[in-house]
Structure 1
């Protein structure tokens, strides 16, 4: 590595480290509920709470994130306590014990249930949170909780059990049913966390088999090289439904997130072919989704260029840009192809200009197409908390460190 490249990468790492410190402190200072436990995520620009309802997704994501920071940087008591606070809150308040341990979607500040959803993403974030906490502390109860949630999700995703909540699919199944990309890709990510911390030999075999199953499902049913995209929703046999808007939806940020989940699985299995296909998924999503006029990644696009149904289709959200930064740096680390470092820098420049708020900390979540915040007074919401941004910052910091350590 020449001096110019080293200085270039060191400058990026310096900014990333500073931003991570700012982000983490923003949530520790403003989000943690020291009365009821758990985390508030509906915070305004300055960090003041504007709604006390709590997202169950965010309890799990926050618990995972602070335990993961301990894994990456060494245990800090404040981080560990933040993780445990969210874990304890979920255990006490966020599980519907009468419905097969399915989890709620939102609860009140005190933990009274507000909303249940059919999707099992609350359970997924609960699983990775407990697994990561076990990895740091050795708490065997957390490992058993993670394993149980992991199995529950698998059974639900594969129709092996009926949903104990009694909530059916969104559409009338006798008319239309299908597959959603979110199920195998999120399960693949959950698997990557569990197999990193759960070293039991029999469980390792299970995780390897389930990871491969997810990879094959994504490639067989959702990845459409003939359309140059990865579709969110397809028929049960993988046939694209191009006659309806739902069947043509591409979420470029989702595809890019999926690409680095696949790359992680490929690296774990030493599977060059899967890695190469994952890079193609990234390339196609970036090319189709990057806004050539205003910059930034569009939220939704139609795979045939037809009108999209979602009102927010041309908005720029924080998390897809986080996924670009992770995936592009991962490809650069794995392949040495400088064009991906350039995509990383292109995206980072956009994020510095439009998302980052060094005055008060954290990032704006939601921008108009032209890059102005739609909610300039908002830093967190039911869907935005201490997860995508600190995950990206810590992962990119780690990958930059790996690259710089080579020479």
Structure 2
């Protein structure tokens, strides 16, 4: 049975104007202990910060390593709506839907492009302009990135780190050009430049790319159409040097179960427990509607092979169209289903009424052991929407 989410929507509140004298008088050390206990649930942290200014400061001064957070889905708050009408967050941990109103961070954008490090990435659905806006739905902070040249629609975007914690972050995109199917470009925040000249094309990036993954060690892995892997080292980028290409190889693969030429397929790179995985989706059903099967492979760099994975032990994967795939520990986050793939598909074309083409968004959980997909309904979510839902792991700090 598909899981059902509560119909009750709760409005997020970020500040309180009501004086709380007793709250202001609590010792700083005690507040720190409370924050530490709440740190695994971003909604608890948000409520804590809303009590009064001293509690807000205590939460912001929390310096320990962030604890793992449960992910959730972000989607437009109104049926047929754009994100400018407000957005909803469906919490997997609490099984509740929270709504937040539109803010200045939504100006000039209308659709989700993905999420990375707890920040939503937003842009124009028309894909004609490369406008990019970063927005943290918890802190309400936003950043506007330089636009890409006109006619450079963005297909994937990743951040090197959380902009809340590191102002010197790197943004890498897969984008289209007039002459080449897709290219890779990067932007170093704080390096200078307010327009398209702030973006630098990665030297040697001229293939049709499926996905990119920026690892913590500064290595960018790019998966091209022929399933080859290209690697750039961004480690020296912070010294105003351009990244260098350090590897390019095509791993061999056991063909059993691999559908590299199927129409409508999709592939993701994801880092899981220190290993690099390739996830492939196969569409089944009428007109390719409905995700029915996933195959997972692990990269053996030494042998230069993709090796099929039979079990996602102690983890769950999260996939969506434009955002980086995520692997989360089911030991640290026990409410997640182990050995499963949570997915939020982009859209299926569907005729409605007089022949209009609309977007139908499908969400479900694929059990890697039984190979069965269970679609789940989120009460209040929009299966018909101009903007797809995206997974996000909140960053409440």
TM-score (norm: length of structure 2): 0.30
Q: Greater relative contact order: 1 or 2 (C-alpha under 8 angstroms, separation 6 or more)?
A: 1
Q: Which of the pair is proportionally richer in helix?
A: 1
TM-score (norm: length of structure 1): 0.30
Q: Which of the pair is proportionally richer in strand?
A: 2
